Amino acid sequence: MTDAEILALKSSCHTTLPGHLALTPAQTFSRMAAWCEEHQIEHDSYGEGELVQAFEHKVATLLGMEAGLFCITGTMTQVTALRLACEERGNSLVALHASSHILVHENSNYQLLGHFHALKIGNPHRPWNLKDLQAISDKLAAVQYELPMREIGGQLPDWDELETIKQHCRDNDIHLHMDGARLWEAATGYGRSLAEVARGFDTAYVSFYKGIGGLGGAMLLGSTEFIAKAKAWMHRQGGSVYRRSPYVVAAAMQFDERLAALPACLARTRELYTLLAQYPQFKVNPAAPQCNMLHLHLPVDKDRAIAIRNRIAQEQGIWLFNHATHTALPDSCMLEWYVGDNLLNTDNVVLRKALDLLAAATS
């Protein structure tokens, strides 16, 4: 099937399990227009304006950071932050986990654009710890921690372990940067405030189109001085677009609502784990929920899983998952579930039916 056919098939389903409810452009823009009318929103000019500055201040305050900078993409944001950390220390070495978005999804941008040099840290399948950091004999300028670690099922490091890492980085002048694309989910998983989680990080990046459900956009948080340097670099790289207001509005208009829903999403994830325990052919990573996402491992290869998904969508009107990937073992694959609006509002009878159908097809 083509991408367009797959999208049409998904749109035809009455039930979708992963993620948030998908709105049409007309629905999204209508909501944005109404919110702008209600709050008398004016456009920004190259990121300058009350809308953008107020949202930057709001997010920075929530994280306990001095300043924030709304950016167009996280891909540009993270490597810029790490580049600046390296320049401040006259050292180009950064430690990244093997599952880091920078290594997995960014087409070697850090390398080809001359931002920094990367060393891998820790076990590729587990969160890294202080011993992993201490095992690197080279002097590091910076290290990145993703909270939660999306590519390994949304795992989080132990809280006390994370605190020791923060202290070690402070003591050794290692810039600690957070990939907080899903920080909102991590804070809920820890049962702590955003400021508690962010405390001890020199910089943090957050995303507004994943759990928040906006049109796109990111924010870099840090000291006022650091953010001023980053702003200059964003302009150099073509990141200073004329209007940021559409992206900021799409995030800001639902930001508080999305954060408020996360405890319910985590509770629903725990319910989902209880249901999944009744299907021994399914393997879940992590073994117990750490935030409102998980990886489900199936005893069939990727191609068969996709065929099963499409057939159930056509016959039953249930969309089980978006993507599947091969795993190390033969005749096995993995899919990701983010527990958002859709699973929150899916009746357990329908959910059990979906799991029964998947179990029967993969047995």
Task: Check which CATH number belongs to the domain holding 280 and give it.
Answer: 3.90.1150.10
- Asked whether 209 and 219 are in contact (CB, 8 A), the reply is no
Same domain, 292 and 210: no
Number of domains in the chain: 2
Tokens matching residue 166: 């923060």
Same domain, 295 and 181: no
Same domain, 161 and 281: no
Cα torsion angle, 276, 280, 282, 288, sign: positive
Beta strands across the sheet bearing 117-121: 67-71, 218-222, 203-207, 175-180, 142-146, 93-97, 117-121
Per-residue model confidence (pLDDT) at position 1: 86
Question: Does 29 fall in a domain?
Answer: no
Question: Residue 289 contacts by C-beta under 8 Å, 6 or more apart in sequence?
Answer: 189, 266, 269, 270, 272, 273
Q: Which amino acid is at 83?
A: R
Same domain, 100 and 182: yes
Percent of the chain with pLDDT over 70: 100
Same domain, 100 and 193: yes
Q: Report the half-sphere exposure of 52 (CA within 13 A, side-chain side).
A: 23
Question: Does 204 fall in a domain?
Answer: yes
Q: Domain residues for 195?
A: 41-253
Question: Does 30 fall in a domain?
Answer: no
Question: Does 32 fall in a domain?
Answer: no
Chosen domain end from 228, 253, 278: 253
Which one-letter DSSP state was computed for residue 150? G
Residue 69 pairs with which residues in a beta bridge?
220
Residues of the chain with pLDDT under 50: none
Q: Strands 293-298, 175-180: parallel, antiparallel or unpaired by DSSP? A: unpaired
Question: Does 213 fall in a domain?
Answer: yes
Cα torsion angle, 160, 162, 164, 170, sign: negative
pTM for the predicted model, two decimal places: 0.96
- Tell me the C-alpha distance between 268 and 274, whole Å: 10
Question: Does 35 fall in a domain?
Answer: no
Beta strands across the sheet bearing 333-338: 283-285, 293-298, 333-338, 324-326
Chosen domain end from 253, 282, 300: 253
- Asked whether 49 and 182 are in contact (CB, 8 A), the reply is no
Question: Does 234 fall in a domain?
Answer: yes
